[in-house]
Structures are given as C-alpha cells and as structure tokens.
Chains A and B, each alone.
Chain A
Amino acid sequence: MMEPVRDIAGQAIPLRIDNVDTDMIIPAKYLKTITRKGLASGAFEALRSRPGNLLDDPAYAGASILVAGDNFGCGSSREHAPWALLDLGIRCVIAPSIADIFYNNCFKNGILPIRLPLRSVERLMGLAAAPPTSQMTVSLVNQTIASADGVTEHFEIDTARKADLIKGVDEIDRSLREAQAIQRFEAHDRTARPWVRDMASDFLV
C-alpha cells in the first residue's frame, strides 16, 4: 500500500544526464524478481560503478530527492524503476520532462514526480551539486520547492493525482466502488459490440 505524500524535506542528488531510461535505473536482469523489494543494489548499477558516483557518496547519504535531466524514465514500462528508487530512499524526482509511463508509475508508489522548466531544473541542479546547498523542502500541498538559495518555486501538478497522493488513496478500492457503472458498461457493450467477446473458452487449458 502506498504511503501518503505531503512534504518531502531532504537532500537532493543531481543526475545531470538526459534520457535516463528505465534500463539504466534498473537493468533487465533484476526484473526476474517476483516481489517489489530488494532492488536497491541493482538500481543504477552501471552508473554507480563509475568514479564520481554521487548515489553512494556519504555526503549524500539519506538523500530523498533526485534532480535529473530531460526525459527522465523513458523506455520500458517496468515499475521496478520506481520500486528501485524507493529502495534507494528517493521520494521525489524533479526533471524538465518525465516519460509518461514512469511518471504514472511514480504516483502508484508514493513518489512525487515534478516537471519544471529547464531553467528551474538547472538552478536546482546547481544547488544540489554542492552538498551544503543541496537541502530542499518540497510541499505537495502548497505545490512549492524551497531551496537553500532562499527561492520558493511553484510547480504544476494534476489536481486529481495530487489529491490521491496526499490521501494515499487505494485506487483499486475506489474503482471497485464503481462496480455498478462498470456492470452497466459491460451489459451495454455486449449488445453494442458483440464481437468483443470473452476468450476464456478459447484458451483455458
């Protein structure tokens, strides 16, 4: 069950790379798992094997925010990517643009993804690059990011998704309460589109 999100205060790690794909966040060999946990060691595996890796730098221990380049989370739909970030302690990703499926997956896991103009991301990236100025406070309620340079910047977020994150809503439970509407749709559809039929008898072994 997802944890509600309200405020995220912590250090931000800069990841100055565009097009960080979900293969980079968690390589395919770690997708053989049948659980959501235990992905921290595989997260950003190739990146973390390089010199200058900040993800394991003691100066950023406990960081909860990732400031990244354009098109973060592109590629594969693997939800293992946000699960891996959670295992690393990341609760918020800030980037100029974030790929759709990854963006969506974040909300299901209590990670706040924030799309900001490039210039704002550059400013936060600069602050995050030096540990003494890397502290930030993100308020989902107020839709603001307060940083060590004294600036408090507003960010946009879809109202429905915001409300769900704050409540930590059980989306399935809520949708199941629409069971009558779903049944009505199905009953109507059986006559409107009889060719969209059940396949169970064709394939059950």
Chain B
Amino acid sequence: MNAARHPRLLFEKIWDAHVVGDIGEGAVLVYIDRHLVNEVTSPQAFEGLRLAGRSVRRPGATIAVADHNVPTGDRSGGVAAIADIDSRLQVQTLERNVEEFGVPYIPLVSRQQGIVHVVGPELGLTLPGMTIVCGDSHTSTHGAFGALAFGIGSSEVEHVLATQTLVQQKPKSMLIKVNNRLGAGITPKDLILHIIGKIGTAGATGHVIEYAGEAVTALEMAGRMTLCNMSIEAGARAGMIAPDETVYAWLRNCPHAPKGEAFEAAVAQWETLRSDKGATFDKTLIIDGRDVAPMVTWGTSPEAVTTIDGLIPDPAVIEDTAKRKAVMAMLDYMGLEPGRPIKGLPVDIVFIGSCTNGRIEDLRAAAEVIRGRRVAAGVRGLVVPGSGEVKGAAEAEGLDRIFLEAGFEWREPGCSMCLGMNPDQVPPGQRCASTSNRNFAGRQGPGSRTHLVAPAMAAAAAIAGELVDVREIAR
C-alpha cells in the first residue's frame, strides 16, 4: 500500500484495505473478515448454496448463533423443547445447515449463546479494522471497536458465505462530534436518541457515521456499542469510533482475541486507524454533550422523541399538513393526548435487554436504581441478559437477586421482546418502557406501544409504574 497517499478517513482506510477487485461502474468487491449468522435471515441463504451446489468459502470466518427466535424461559430441554413449531424448525434448520456446511456454531444450551451483537464483542470475535457483516441491521454495533460493520439481507448473506466478499458502492461519510462530557445520569442511549431527534431517521442514509469528541471518547465499550448500535435508526450504513486504549483494554480480556505478541502487533496497526488531519466528511454534526437530557420516545419512529420533562406534541400547531397527519396517526396509535407532559404516563411492561442495552453495564445501571425497591403493582418487568456470559456475570455479582426480589422476571438470553418474535410480546394496547431500539407500530407485538428509554430510566419506570425522570428518584 502507498503510505504517501492523500489524507483519509477511518472508514476509508478500512474500505481501501479490503477492496479485492473492481467490478466496474463504481462497484467493488470488498473482503469480509467476519460473518455473523443467525437463524432468521440465513435459512434462505444456505438453501441457495445447496441449490447451486456451492460451499461456504471460509467457515472459520463465520460464526452462527440463534438469538431472534429463541424462547427465554426454561431451556433445559434444548432445541427439541422449543414449543413453537415454526421457531423450533428454524433453529433446527440452522443447526442442520451449520453441520452440513461446517460453520462454527454456538449452541442454544451454551453459556456463550446470546444476541449475536453481544456475543461477538465479548468473545473477541470483533476486532478493530475488520469488515463485519450479519443479516441483521444492528450489526452497526461492532463499529464501537473501530470496525466497519453493517447489516445485510439474506441474498448478501448467501454471497458472503459463497465468496467471503460483497459487491459494494462506496458510502458517504458523516462526522458526529460530541463536545464536552454528558451530564450526570445521562447515558449513551440518551445521546443517540438526542442525535436521532435532531437529524431524523433518514438523517444519515447512505453515510457511514464516525462518532468523535470528548463525550464519545469518554465512553466505556458498552456505551460505545449502544451509540453505534442505533446508528441504523438514523439511517446510517454504519457507525464507528476510532479504536483507543478503551478498546484494547476490553479486548485483553476476551477469550478469542489475539494474545501476547500477536496482540501488541495488532495494536500497533490499530493505532493507525483514525481519520487523518485534512480528510473531510460529506456531512458534519456538532453537538454539545451538556445539552443532552434523559430521552423518551412518544411516537412510532425513533425520531419521535422528547426529553423526559418535555411535552407530547400537539398536531394543532403543526403547519405542514403531511407532518400534522403523521403526528396525529402516531398519537392515535400510541393512545396519547396532545400537549400533555410525557412524564407520569403509566406503563404496563418494562423490558430491559436487547443488543442495544443488554450488556452487564446496562444491567448494573438498572439494578442500581432497583436495589431495595419493588416493581409497581400491575407492572410486568422483564430482564433479558444479552448473552449467557452477561447472565452469568450478573448472577456472580448478585444482580439477579436484586431484579428478582424487586419482582422482575430474570430470563434466558436472546432478542426477546425487542422484536416480539418469540413468546415475549407486549399485548395489544399495552404500554412498554423498553431499552430496545425500535418503537415501530407492532414491533413488540401487534398493537404494542413502545417508549424507548435508557436502562436506568426503564428501571425507574418499573418502580414508579409510570415514566419518570430517573434523576429525581436517584439515591
């Protein structure tokens, strides 16, 4: 590689280093270092390989785990005991496919099983400078390590399995710089909801976001993952942060990350993974971290968000007809009165988990609020750890006792109520304070009403039985 080239952005360096060849007309073949596979978006891909008589090019760069469609109750019976016939068939199909094609697999009963975007980082499968894909939009999570990571459809899953590459057009770039630190009690979830509220759910479409600034570099890995995770909710192709000592410290504790000299050699190269001075972004957004408050969504799009002391919007004062109608439709679906404070809105369910906020740090933040308190009467609280490792770590710290004694359910790992594919669903018309990433109509179950919040805010809502400002009940 020519070192004396023009200044480049972080994502361009990774991009350039992975271009295998030119397809013509601006399309290139990009090499994929890591391919994460789940049970929901892979069956058609493996079937495609089978029909064409193709094999998996590099099984050792691939790892499969079932997460979307798995029950979070008792798992002692294994896959055969999954009650839902279609769900069971899907997980069995994954098991059959990984065996037939020789793909590494983390079984349902393994302690390492969990949401693929929690599992990859904690095992050290996610490394800086990598290209990482998965048939899941929240693959952007892995950008927290300085990897270029993005979600793909099943046809592309098949393409990666067969060729270890993808046909790509180079995306545009966007810098989101967050100056100063976040205030006390303000979390990365609040920051990303603040950003989405500012730029909208299509604000970064076609772009790779690089997050920078003091508030970002001050974040621990879990927070960085939350931030990058929801980049897709701003429409971004990917979100990423330049790797630093925080990343290396995390990786030193990961079982499958490189060790010893290999690790130090890697760090030397990872240190070059930052945007050069003089390299320019297509778009830039500058935010003051001190302006970010606890956030809660009121509508059926993550951009329909307000601060916890804000008001539910009043369509009557919206001049644009289309926007007014859209807000009216959202308020109608959500069962909300215009112009009222969002604070004090009663909740029926509180869900703590997901690839956005299902890590040990998230559970600690929620447990800190919950310790010694009780879930309000009539509220169902669920805690679904992001992985078996997270669950085990939480139990070692006694967090499970805190949740159980407060009246929460303590469940097995998976995507669970984030997308309501398994039995964990919000019943029609019920209101859920959720640490997940999407408040779409029907997302958590038909007719479900979702309010996206940070883990501590969800915990506070469970105790109060309504949406509250966690800072007001802090100890």
Which A residues form the contact surface with B (CB < 8 A)?
Answer: 16-19, 21, 23-24, 27-29, 31-36, 46, 69-71, 74-79, 82, 97, 99-101, 104-105, 108-109, 158-161, 163, 171-172, 174-176, 178, 181-182, 185-186, 189, 193-205
Which chain A residue shows the least CB distance to B206? A100
A56 to B150, CA, bound (A): 35
Q: When the two chains form their complex, are residues B167 and A32 in contact, meaning their CB atoms are under 8 A apart? A: no
Find chain B residues with CB under 8 A from A31 CB.
40, 68-69, 421
Whether A163 contacts B104 in the complex (CB less than 8 A), given A100-B205, A199-B256, comes out as: no
Which of B153-161, B181-189, B275-283, B459-467 lies on the face that meets chain A? B153-161
Whether A178 contacts B256 in the complex (CB less than 8 A), given A70-B202, A172-B52, comes out as: no
Which chain B residue shows the least CB distance to A200? B60
| Count, chain B residues at interface, CB 8 A | 89
Q: When the two chains form their complex, are residues B322 and A18 in contact, meaning their CB atoms are under 8 A apart? A: yes
A176 to B56, CA, bound (A): 12
Find chain A residues with CB under 8 A from B206 CB.
100
Q: When the two chains form their complex, are residues B54 and A172 in contact, meaning their CB atoms are under 8 A apart? A: yes
A170 to B447, CA, bound (A): 40
A101 to B150, CA, bound (A): 9
A161 CB to nearest B CB, Å: 8
Whether A158 contacts B33 in the complex (CB less than 8 A), given A105-B155, A198-B58, comes out as: no
Q: When the two chains form their complex, are residues A172 and B162 in contact, meaning their CB atoms are under 8 A apart? A: yes
A78 to B38, CA, bound (A): 12
Across the interface, B33 reaches (CB within 8 A) one of A76, A176, A196, namely: A196
Whether A77 contacts B441 in the complex (CB less than 8 A), given A27-B446, A200-B60, comes out as: no
The answer to the question of B127 belonging to the interface, with a C-beta cut-off of 8 Å to chain A, is yes
Across the interface, A76 reaches (CB within 8 A) one of B21, B137, B263, namely: B137
Q: When the two chains form their complex, are residues A194 and B265 in contact, meaning their CB atoms are under 8 A apart? A: yes
The answer to the question of B235 belonging to the interface, with a C-beta cut-off of 8 Å to chain A, is yes
B208 CB to nearest A CB, Å: 10
Find chain B residues with CB under 8 A from A36 CB.
44, 154
The answer to the question of B90 belonging to the interface, with a C-beta cut-off of 8 Å to chain A, is yes
A195 to B153, CA, bound (A): 28
Q: When the two chains form their complex, are residues A79 and B41 in contact, meaning their CB atoms are under 8 A apart? A: yes
Which chain B residue shows the least CB distance to A96? B202
Q: When the two chains form their complex, are residues B47 and A195 in contact, meaning their CB atoms are under 8 A apart? A: no
Find chain B residues with CB under 8 A from A158 CB.
25-27, 169
Q: When the two chains form their complex, are residues B31 and A71 in contact, meaning their CB atoms are under 8 A apart? A: no
Q: When the two chains form their complex, are residues B163 and A97 in contact, meaning their CB atoms are under 8 A apart? A: no
Q: When the two chains form their complex, are residues A172 and B20 in contact, meaning their CB atoms are under 8 A apart? A: no
Find chain B residues with CB under 8 A from A205 CB.
105, 107
Find chain B residues with CB under 8 A from A32 CB.
40, 69, 84, 86-87, 89-90, 421
Which chain A residue shows the least CB distance to B157? A79
Which chain B residue shows the least CB distance to A100? B237
Q: A99-B205, A105-B156 are in contact. List 19 more A-B contacts (CB 8 A).
A: A21-B301, A21-B440, A28-B68, A33-B43, A35-B43, A46-B442, A46-B446, A75-B137, A77-B152, A78-B41, A79-B41, A79-B44, A101-B152, A109-B155, A160-B23, A182-B163, A194-B262, A195-B258, A205-B107
Which of B128-136, B351-359, B369-377 lies on the face that meets chain A? B128-136
Which chain A residue shows the least CB distance to B60? A198
Q: Which of A17, A18, A163, A174 gathers most chain B CB within 10 Å? A: A18
Whether A74 contacts B235 in the complex (CB less than 8 A), given A105-B153, A194-B265, A203-B63, comes out as: yes
A203 to B156, CA, bound (A): 24
Q: List 19 A-B contacts (CB under 8 A).
A: A28-B419, A33-B43, A46-B442, A75-B232, A77-B135, A77-B152, A78-B40, A79-B44, A105-B156, A158-B27, A158-B169, A175-B159, A175-B167, A176-B54, A181-B29, A182-B164, A196-B127, A199-B256, A200-B102
Q: When the two chains form their complex, are residues B20 and A99 in contact, meaning their CB atoms are under 8 A apart? A: no
Across the interface, B104 reaches (CB within 8 A) one of A159, A194, A199, namely: A199
A157 CB to nearest B CB, Å: 11
Within 8 A of A (CB), among B73-120: 84, 86-87, 89-90, 93, 102, 104-107
A76 to B421, CA, bound (A): 13
